[in-house]
Chain A
Amino acid sequence: MIEFLRFALVAAVFAPLLGVLVIGLMVLLGDDRPTESRVAQVTGAGLAVSIIASLAVMAGHLGLIGVPLAGDVEFGAWLRVGDFVVPAVLLVDGVSVSISLFAASLTALIARFSRTYLHKEAGFVRFFTLLGIFATGTQLVALAGTLEIFFAGWELIGISSAFFIGFFHERAEPVRSSIRAFATYRFSDAGLLIATVATLQLLDTARFSALESAGGLPPLQSTAIALLFLLSAMGKSAQLPFSGWLPRAMEGPTPSSALFYGAVSIHAGLFLLLRVWPLLEVSLVARTFGVIVGLGTALYATAVVRVHTDAKGTLAHATLAQVGLILAEICFGWVTFALIHLICHAFLRLGQYLKAPNTIHDSHRLGHAEHAPSALERWSPRTASRLYAASIHRLRLDDRIDAAIAPMLALAGWLDRLDRRWRKAASLDTGAIEATAIKQLRS
């Protein structure tokens, strides 16, 4: 029986990716582009297997099939470099199986929706390929037994997210937004990577099951690692000051926005914190920091919701407010409540995102908001005006980040010019690089 459950675990994770590989082979080996129905069937089959396997694992965990399955499930070594071994371990517990089932079901629901929504769209195959990659990414994150495997899934989610934002790459704005999201991910993922290495160094293992012993670490070390995890979660879940990419992520097709920024991906950072909770629990500094960031983001997003005029941007910030709140709940230590809040919230937003284009229809049916001056506006118009400007400009977060990295970019530019000059001096480069027109105009 245990063999069956081990197989189910693997199937839950890799069935969607297998679907992607099959589609890839169809594209490579077939004469024509595979038909829409074939692509949707293959992806659907992968997701269906993932759901069934995930249900089986849940049944196994609850003891409905033989002995209850719980704890680390070993699959040997993932990577072996000399003495250094990265084990392939999946973790089965209440949290992992419920998140696994949750993510697989919502992804399948979106796949069903998108089959109709993306009919005749040029990027149909690309969309479903990315969906399959994302599904495997979420399963890896949900079921990972070690930080290394978690990181692999985390990156798959990140890369598919960036590609979905830039889905309509023939226009400039989606590409700009995609790069911004990707760069934010890269920056914050460094936190996860460093924390993983540090955990390995200090605990000799990066298993989640071993983090219980992290309480024994010196406070400085545990706090540093907890803060790094928090940094990573803040980037993925668009907490302040990384909130700027989230509204921009609305460039993709509606269903991917629903799945990523309404339901699953946006909550991934919170899930990371739930996984490393034993480490976070012991660090009062990190928890305080998390509460401040979470509540700050929640207030910020609530203020932005009030002024946003577009359906998807409003939803993005409404989602962000709850995500900030859940972050604060986690850091307060209300872990179970936070998990329930997270899942219920994802359920609610998924439907709201999918119905975002229905806004006009709804306003005909329900009527719309009347603009009455708020109490603040009556009391201090000037403060209200400043609050409005700060909200509609979203605190100019993107500009501030751009300004912060400007010196780095300037350094890169200087090095680039140096490089060119050196190559020219060494006559490695004969072509004229600078546009002559600019040279003439230079003072």
Chain B
Amino acid sequence: MSASHADALPADPVDRALARARGVLPDQGPIGVFIHHNTLHAFQHLPFHAGVQAGAAALGARPYLTLPQFRAALASGRILDADVRLEIARSLGAQADEPLLPGLSRAGLWHALMVSDSDTDDAAGLAFSIASGTAVECRDLPLWQACLARAAAGPGLTLPDTRQFPRHRDVLLALGAGDTDVAVHGELIRLGSGFLDQGQAHAVVPGREHGFLAAATQLYANGASAPRDCRGAEADMRQAAQNATPAGAIIRSTLAALGIKGDAIEPWLFAATLALPGWAGMFSRLERNPADNIGGPPVALEEFLAVRLLLERRAIERACAELGLAGSIAGDWTQLRAAVPPLPPRPAVLDAALLWRLAHEAGVAGEHIASLPDEALAALWRECAACTDLARREVFQNAYERSYREIILDAVAARQGLPGDAQAERPRAQFVFCMDEREESIRRALEEQHPGYITFGMAGFFGVAIDYMGLYDKEPAAHCPVVVTPAHEVHEQPVFTALKRSRLTTSLRNAWLSGERRARAASRTLAGGAGISLLLGPVSVVKTLLRVVAPRLSLKLGEQVAASVAPRPATRLSTIRIADQAVINDSGKPLGFSLAESIDRVCTVLNNIGMVRDFAPIIVFLGHGSTSLNNPHESAHDCGACGGRRGGANARLFADMANRPDVREGVRQRGISIPADTWFVGALHDTADDSVRYYDLEALPPGSAARFEEAYAALERARRENARERSRRYENAPLDVSPEQALRHVEGRSAHLAQPRPEYGHCTNSVAIVGRRRLTRGLHLDRRAFLISYDPTIDPENAIIERILAAVGPVGAGINLEYYFSYVDNETFGCGTKLPHNVTGLIGIMNGHQSDLRTGLPLQMVELHEPMRLLMLVDATPEALLAVAGRQPEVAELVVNQWVQLVSVHPETGAMAVFDNGGFVPYAPRPTLLPVVEKSPEWHMRTRAHVTPALVRAALPGSAVGPGHFGEPAMVDAGAL
């Protein structure tokens, strides 16, 4: 957001604080449609490390894994020690080898501080372990004596005071008062949720159409009482209501009353806005995106802040009074801030222990320590102070990424050493999936079945951006990436012969649903609750019992009953509109595509994925979505490229277009000849229960039936294998599970009310590979790679790669970074464990009965993740990539600031170059012998941990694997953190 750039900020401190806060507040919309985005998007204009550190500091979060987590990764071999040393050297540059002690260079000092907990701040624990003789220092007592004496003589290590006291509340807490935010937030949450409610409550805040400030103050003017800890606020509110004081004036007068002046205003107000980030973020989000709040009240972050300050002021005054602080102090922020007791000085024993460990590491003798000059000791301490916790973790993060990156690059290089997948025969079937890394496994499972099964990957809206209205939908919804606004609407309509019947079943269905809705609402009223308890209570408990004991069967049973009472009619999409009689519907958008538009869409997609020759007789396009119950984050598992919705309609629409003879004729005129016997089929892959639903099979020509049956059988096998590969991650499925059992297992997960992990979603995503499948076919990528098909040989102008990167870069990085942040600090960037989650106002979730709105991803979605920046390999020359970056500012920002790790793989030579510090640096792959397995389950079904790449012979062209890669596959345990 440009708002966060310093030069674009307003001059007024209040406005500036609000503008800055807007950039940092969570930008997640109402949870019904979940869209992955970079949690710290506002910091993307900074280099990655600077950006995450600034963003985390603003939110009080952790930007990286913790040191103990990194050290555990080092111990397990997930990070190589060599990589740690390499990254230290890279970070220190020319000064790395300067000696600080004899035998201890600067790099050595950093290494020692990083890999072990030398600079502990636990003085009491240290004193105890030394007294009891269990401390490491006791191993060399003369050295310990020398260190103790030398450290006591000074100079000492001084660490900066990193405690933060941005607001009164923090100072008051440090002085022993209660938390003023408890009462303030309680009231804000109640009023805010009643104000923003999108349909959960029967009654919302009266007068909310006048805005939050007016509605809240009017409640008080009508006689509401303030919380006990904010007493006095009701009078302020009343006055504000009577005078209709604008929010800005309230903020300014409150700041004045609290004695916050001049330069202190901006940081104080910034911190106050971020104190309840979820709710404030929702106000900010809805203010800037009214489309998320159709029919809702006018929303303004400033008004939210004004109400907050009205309450907070009185809470502060009351807390000051309780502490017995004089009235003048409560009204003078500078004076109060100065009252915080200073940090106690660091005991010399801690310095001594650090000195001992460093001397021990360097092999320095006690005499030398005793005679260490003051300047040398001071220099040592300066370096120790410079090697902050954050600096160490930054280096660790680079090493963590490097260790993984080199494994992947080496594997891709090794795969390139094998013959490509050129083949003489016509492909038997082609399958086009979403680029989603969850589809990597099912693609592999298809390719392992026959060399003639070819798969592709692309953004899962398949080039058709539409507002789609399904048969039972109430209004159209955009099925395309969020940055695109669809220009067309497409409806699903019953076929003519089913129209009459469909009217009947639709009215039956509507009657049932409205009855259910009414019963649900009535069960919450007094009389209705009694009536429904007595009538339906016993039925309800039987249903609950069945749903808990036999989730899969009871769900199926229910669906069967519903389907027999009101079967879903056969439908068609309103795909094509006759060009010269454009049907414009209420929204002003044409219903369906014209012939020319259809030809255009089909050509673009085929060119994007490089499917311009060798068409198979059956080509299946598979969108994806996810079904789960009791899961407020259900939409987060749907297709990101479809704006958090399911891609089935897009696949169906595309297939419908591509099957039309007039469209094919137009496509042929543009140089792509689709054979007459080729048929496109649209389908939807459910990534939770691994079902595949096909569309419009009624229209399948009889001549294609046999071919389709083969493709269908292949997908049937593949989805079972896919279920099996997913099952290995679930501890309650055995590792020797059969494909059939695995399918039932994942179906059970999807249907279970008690299942917090219906699927793992994008968890573990780490790589994106844009290029021909020959780079990766037969390579086991462990469901961690976004795979985007692209053929550089048909893209001399770099037009296609520009299109692809402009779409894929931000989407892939958004997903990857959301997982990154939700993992490294699940409580602040993520939303913690799902178990106490409580849906509120249909806009989000809280913890328990009232808490901040929890944004980001829950623990259960991210627990297996490895937080790394997306490693993006592109089958294009460095020059082509630089040219694209020059034309696409959003891609350039991600790449130049290194929020993704971009690697160019030369289309002809295969040479690799990693983008670093403004330019491409060649990478020389280490010669690698990849483990070889016949089929991928042999590789991944041995462990629940991440697996490193392996070659899967069944998916490779016949003679591809030479003797070099044979041998007993070595298990490399990447080690889950």
Q: Given A173-B848, A308-B201, A393-B224: A314 and B835 within 8 A (CB)?
A: no
| Chain A, residue nearest B851 (CB) | A173
Q: Which of A227-280 contact B (CB under 8 A)?
A: 247-255
Smallest Cβ distance from B462 to chain A, in angstroms?
23
Expressed in whole angstroms, the Cα–Cα distance for A424 and B134 within the complex equals: 38
Q: Which of B503-517 contact A (CB under 8 A)?
A: 513, 516-517
Interface string of B833-870 (1 = CB under 8 A from A): 11111111110001111110000000010010000000
B529 contacts A254, C-beta separation under 8 Å: no
Query: Which of B190, B207, B227, B841 has the most CB atoms of chain A within a 10 A radius of its CB?
Result: B190
Residues of A within 8 A of B227 (CB): 396, 399
Q: Which of B524-538 contact A (CB under 8 A)?
A: 524-526, 529-530, 532-534, 536-538
Residues of A within 8 A of B837 (CB): 254, 357
Interface check A442, CB cutoff 8 A: yes
Interface check A201, CB cutoff 8 A: no
A360 contacts B541, C-beta separation under 8 Å: no
Interface check A117, CB cutoff 8 A: yes
Expressed in whole angstroms, the Cα–Cα distance for A435 and B847 within the complex equals: 34
A438 contacts B323, C-beta separation under 8 Å: yes
Q: Which of A101-131 contact B (CB under 8 A)?
A: 106, 109, 112-121
Residues of A within 8 A of B635 (CB): 360
A358 contacts B219, C-beta separation under 8 Å: no
B632 contacts A360, C-beta separation under 8 Å: yes
A120: contacting residue among B521, B846, B863, CB under 8 A: B863
Residues of B within 8 A of A363 (CB): 32, 199-200, 842
Expressed in whole angstroms, the Cα–Cα distance for A39 and B179 within the complex equals: 39
A347: contacting residue among B200, B540, B547, CB under 8 A: B540
A359 contacts B833, C-beta separation under 8 Å: no
Q: Which of A326-369 contact B (CB under 8 A)?
A: 340-341, 343-348, 350-352, 354-369
Expressed in whole angstroms, the Cα–Cα distance for A167 and B227 within the complex equals: 27
Residues of B within 8 A of A369 (CB): 199-202, 521
Q: Given A347-B541, A360-B31, A371-B204: A313 and B523 within 8 A (CB)?
A: no
A365 contacts B513, C-beta separation under 8 Å: yes
Secondary structure class of chain A's binding surface, majority of residues: helix
Residues of B within 8 A of A310 (CB): 193, 200, 838-841, 846, 849-850
| Chain B, residue nearest A329 (CB) | B530
A298: contacting residue among B218, B526, B537, B547, CB under 8 A: B526
Residues of A within 8 A of B193 (CB): 309-310
A368 contacts B537, C-beta separation under 8 Å: no
Q: Which of A286-303 contact B (CB under 8 A)?
A: 298-299, 302
Q: Which of A380-414 contact B (CB under 8 A)?
A: 381-382, 384-386, 388-393, 396, 399, 402-403
Interface check B778, CB cutoff 8 A: no
| Chain B, residue nearest A122 (CB) | B833
Expressed in whole angstroms, the Cα–Cα distance for A223 and B153 within the complex equals: 79
B299-307, B449-457, B748-756: which lies at the interface: B748-756
Interface check A441, CB cutoff 8 A: yes
A345 contacts B537, C-beta separation under 8 Å: yes
Residues of B within 8 A of A348 (CB): 523, 532-533, 536-537, 540-541
Residues of B within 8 A of A249 (CB): 849
Interface check B203, CB cutoff 8 A: yes
Expressed in whole angstroms, the Cα–Cα distance for A177 and B544 within the complex equals: 29
B339 contacts A441, C-beta separation under 8 Å: yes
A364 contacts B540, C-beta separation under 8 Å: no
Smallest Cβ distance from A103 to chain B, in angstroms?
13
Expressed in whole angstroms, the Cα–Cα distance for A321 and B732 within the complex equals: 40
Expressed in whole angstroms, the Cα–Cα distance for A121 and B220 within the complex equals: 43
| Chain A, residue nearest B185 (CB) | A173
B324-332, B809-817, B964-972: which lies at the interface: B324-332
Interface check A307, CB cutoff 8 A: yes
Residues of A within 8 A of B538 (CB): 344, 347
Interface check B631, CB cutoff 8 A: yes
Q: Given A392-B190, A396-B227: A307 and B202 within 8 A (CB)?
A: yes
Query: Which of B175, B197, B630, B731 has the most CB atoms of chain A within a 10 A radius of its CB?
Result: B630
B833 contacts A168, C-beta separation under 8 Å: yes
Interface check B198, CB cutoff 8 A: yes
Interface check B1, CB cutoff 8 A: no
Smallest Cβ distance from B944 to chain A, in angstroms?
12
Expressed in whole angstroms, the Cα–Cα distance for A266 and B204 within the complex equals: 28
Residues of A within 8 A of B524 (CB): 305, 314-315, 318
B731: contacting residue among A120, A347, A381, CB under 8 A: A120
Expressed in whole angstroms, the Cα–Cα distance for A252 and B848 within the complex equals: 7
A350 contacts B544, C-beta separation under 8 Å: yes
User: Chain B: how many interface residues by the 8 Å CB criterion?
Assistant: 96
| Chain B, residue nearest A325 (CB) | B530
Expressed in whole angstroms, the Cα–Cα distance for A252 and B833 within the complex equals: 12
A393 contacts B190, C-beta separation under 8 Å: yes
Expressed in whole angstroms, the Cα–Cα distance for A59 and B729 within the complex equals: 46
A368 contacts B200, C-beta separation under 8 Å: yes
A251: contacting residue among B199, B631, B756, B836, CB under 8 A: B836
Q: Given A309-B840, A396-B225: A321 and B753 within 8 A (CB)?
A: no
Residues of A within 8 A of B325 (CB): 438, 441-443
B847 contacts A251, C-beta separation under 8 Å: yes
Smallest Cβ distance from B392 to chain A, in angstroms?
26
Interface check B385, CB cutoff 8 A: no
A113: contacting residue among B634, B754, B757, CB under 8 A: B754
Interface check A312, CB cutoff 8 A: yes
Interface check A174, CB cutoff 8 A: yes
Q: Given A120-B863, A173-B851, A435-B175: A384 and B206 within 8 A (CB)?
A: yes
A357 contacts B630, C-beta separation under 8 Å: yes
Smallest Cβ distance from A204 to chain B, in angstroms?
40
Interface check B581, CB cutoff 8 A: no
Expressed in whole angstroms, the Cα–Cα distance for A357 and B633 within the complex equals: 10
Q: Given A119-B756, A347-B538, A377-B206: A312 and B838 within 8 A (CB)?
A: yes
A314 contacts B200, C-beta separation under 8 Å: yes
Expressed in whole angstroms, the Cα–Cα distance for A370 and B205 within the complex equals: 14
Expressed in whole angstroms, the Cα–Cα distance for A362 and B198 within the complex equals: 14
A360 contacts B634, C-beta separation under 8 Å: yes
Residues of A within 8 A of B532 (CB): 348
Interface check B152, CB cutoff 8 A: no
B835 contacts A117, C-beta separation under 8 Å: yes
Q: Given A355-B753, A366-B516: A385 and B206 within 8 A (CB)?
A: yes
Smallest Cβ distance from B113 to chain A, in angstroms?
29
Interface check B194, CB cutoff 8 A: yes
A350: contacting residue among B323, B541, B631, CB under 8 A: B541
Residues of A within 8 A of B205 (CB): 388, 392
Query: Which of B219, B540, B835, B847 has the most CB atoms of chain A within a 10 A radius of its CB?
Result: B835
A253 contacts B835, C-beta separation under 8 Å: yes
Expressed in whole angstroms, the Cα–Cα distance for A356 and B517 within the complex equals: 14
Q: Given A174-B848, A388-B203: A359 and B525 within 8 A (CB)?
A: no
Interface check A322, CB cutoff 8 A: yes
Q: Given A313-B849, A441-B326: A435 and B341 within 8 A (CB)?
A: yes
Interface check A80, CB cutoff 8 A: no
A113 contacts B224, C-beta separation under 8 Å: no
B838 contacts A356, C-beta separation under 8 Å: yes
Interface check A436, CB cutoff 8 A: yes
B836 contacts A302, C-beta separation under 8 Å: no
Interface check B370, CB cutoff 8 A: no
A119 contacts B526, C-beta separation under 8 Å: no
A351 contacts B541, C-beta separation under 8 Å: yes
Interface check B520, CB cutoff 8 A: yes
18 contacts across the A-B interface (CB closer than 8 A) = A109-B548, A119-B757, A173-B850, A249-B849, A310-B850, A312-B848, A316-B849, A318-B524, A322-B530, A325-B526, A357-B632, A363-B842, A365-B513, A367-B517, A385-B218, A386-B223, A389-B222, A392-B190
B residues engaging A (CB < 8 A)? 31-32, 175-176, 179, 182, 190-191, 193-194, 197-207, 218-220, 222-225, 227-228, 323-326, 329, 339-341, 474, 513, 516-517, 520-521, 523-526, 529-530, 532-534, 536-538, 540-541, 543-545, 547-549, 629-632, 634-635, 731-732, 752-757, 833-842, 846-851, 860, 863
